[in-house]
Amino acid sequence: MSVEFSTEQRAFAQAVADFCKREAGTREKRDQLTDRGTHNHNQGLYEKMAELGWLGLTIPEAYGGSEATMVDMCILLEETARGMAPIGAIGPTLITGGAYERFGTSEQKDTVLRGIVRGASQSISMSEPEAGSDVGNLSTKAERTADGWVINGQKTWCSNAHISENILLVARTSRGESKHEGLTMFHVPADTAGLKISPIELMGGQKETNDLFFTDCVLPADAVVGEVGGGWRQLMTGLNFERLILSAMILGTAERAFADTLGFITQRKQFGRPIGTFQALRHRMADLATEIECTKLLVYSVAREADANPHKMLAREASMAKLKATETAKRVALEGMQMMGGYGYAAEFDMERHVRATLVSTIFGGTSEIQRDIIGKTFGL
């Protein structure tokens, strides 16, 4: 059993795979393209993808995009992740762009969506030190003035803000009976006065997420994205899109970790034979291959459902895809490291990168625990 793609979609997947191999097919190339980071910022690769029209795949034609399907988007994200293309900002960028597409003004769309098409990164900022999984608890305040808004507060875990042109901020404009009332989205250019972006050092020394400090940050009246007080509802309508993006990306990482493990255990010999021929490893690989195939079927099933019913909230299905993809990828990477032994832990090989990427995938975009809670609630539990 396998996912069915059209002839055009198979050709697209192959073109993306070939591009990744040609442009970023070795560890040395990837490190040169990112200075050992995760995103090719102002160094050519991302711009080449923009010129090919791939970054605008899901953007409406009116703003220079291709207006393609969710399935097409998943193909792009899966193949670039499997090919280890150093474009780590693409996920947050597409998630942010989706919100602007649904709720932005014509001027905001023109700025952000056209920016995505030409290769600019964008970010969305929700989390705060006391508001992670409990997003409704956020307290960064937006106060109305005669000319617009003044923002004060701290946000955290904002992916790629340090290389983004714009930040979609979720702040509190009022308080109601429910903590989910009174949240509003704002368009914030990254160079706005009063905004300080401070990178957070992560595992492996990576700096791809940030603290944001707003100190009397002044925004114009037309900075509101969507409706004042409608931020929570607007966030919820984008969950299908966000979770599919994350699922497709981490599916590609799982496939790459599996391929790297397979390549190693067929070459590495101990006790006079390739270690992959030992039953303990052969059975592990069989289990992992089965889990990856199940994950791929689920991810693309949800993508097709989203294409068929673009306005339907697929809370259960999207959460299942995110949960299954991230937990499977984490298992594949950790099993791969175990089977590779010390080499799996060595920076010389990519497995340690796969482990870092998959461990955090079960945390960002809604933890596995949150996904399970959402799924359970859809059954009335």
Closest C-alpha among 326, 381, 362 to residue 133: 362
CA angle 311, 312, 315 (to 5 degrees): 130
Contact 290, 331 (CB under 8 A): no
Pairwise CA distance, residues 94 & 165, whole Å: 13
The predicted model scores a pTM of 0.94
Sign of CA dihedral 72, 100, 194, 227: negative
Token pair of 11 as six digits: 């050709």
Residue type for position 201:
E
pLDDT of residue 337: 98
**Predicted confidence (pLDDT) per residue in 308-364, tens digit:** 999 899 999 999 999 999 999 999 999 999 999 999 999 889 999 999 999 999 999
Q: With a cut of 80, say whether residue 64 has pLDDT above it.
A: yes
Closest C-alpha among 190, 254, 220, 204 to residue 107: 220
Pairwise CA distance, residues 321 & 246, whole Å: 9
Burial status of residue 25 (CB atoms within 10 A of its CB: 0-12, 13-18, 19 or more): middle
Pairwise CA distance, residues 56 & 28, whole Å: 28
Strands 183-189 and 269-270: unpaired
Mean pLDDT, rounded, of the chain: 94
Please, which pLDDT band fits residue 36 given cuts at 50, 70 and 90? Answer: low
| DSSP symbols for 178-243 | STTTTEEEEEEETT-TTEEEEEE--GGG---EEEEEEEEEEEEGGGEES-TTBHHHHHHHTHHHHH
Q: With a cut of 70, say whether residue 191 has pLDDT above it.
A: yes
**Predicted confidence (pLDDT) per residue in 256-282, tens digit:** 999 999 999 999 999 999 999 999 999
**Predicted confidence (pLDDT) per residue in 208-259, tens digit:** 899 999 999 999 999 999 999 999 999 999 988 999 999 999 999 999 999 9
pLDDT of residue 42: 63
Q: With a cut of 90, say whether residue 34 has pLDDT above it.
A: no
Please, which pLDDT band fits residue 40 given cuts at 50, 70 and 90? Answer: confident
pLDDT of residue 240: 85
Pairwise CA distance, residues 308 & 288, whole Å: 30
Closest C-alpha among 337, 332, 325, 283 to residue 301: 325
Closest C-alpha among 259, 260, 374 to residue 322: 374
Closest C-alpha among 185, 214, 218 to residue 198: 214
pLDDT of residue 43: 66
Pairwise CA distance, residues 368 & 15, whole Å: 33
Contact 77, 246 (CB under 8 A): no
Please, which pLDDT band fits residue 28 given cuts at 50, 70 and 90? Answer: confident
| DSSP symbols for 56-122 | TTTS-GGGT-----HHHHHHHHHHHHHTT-SBTTHHHHHHHHHHHHHH--HHHHHHHHHHHHHT-EE
**Predicted confidence (pLDDT) per residue in 91-147, tens digit:** 999 999 999 999 999 999 999 999 999 999 999 999 999 988 888 899 999 999 999
The average pLDDT across 44-52 equals 93
pLDDT of residue 206: 74
pLDDT of residue 69: 96
Burial status of residue 306 (CB atoms within 10 A of its CB: 0-12, 13-18, 19 or more): buried
H-helix or E-strand spanning residue 351: helix 351-361
Q: With a cut of 80, say whether residue 204 has pLDDT above it.
A: no
pLDDT of residue 203: 86
Residue type for position 58:
T
Pairwise CA distance, residues 290 & 230, whole Å: 42
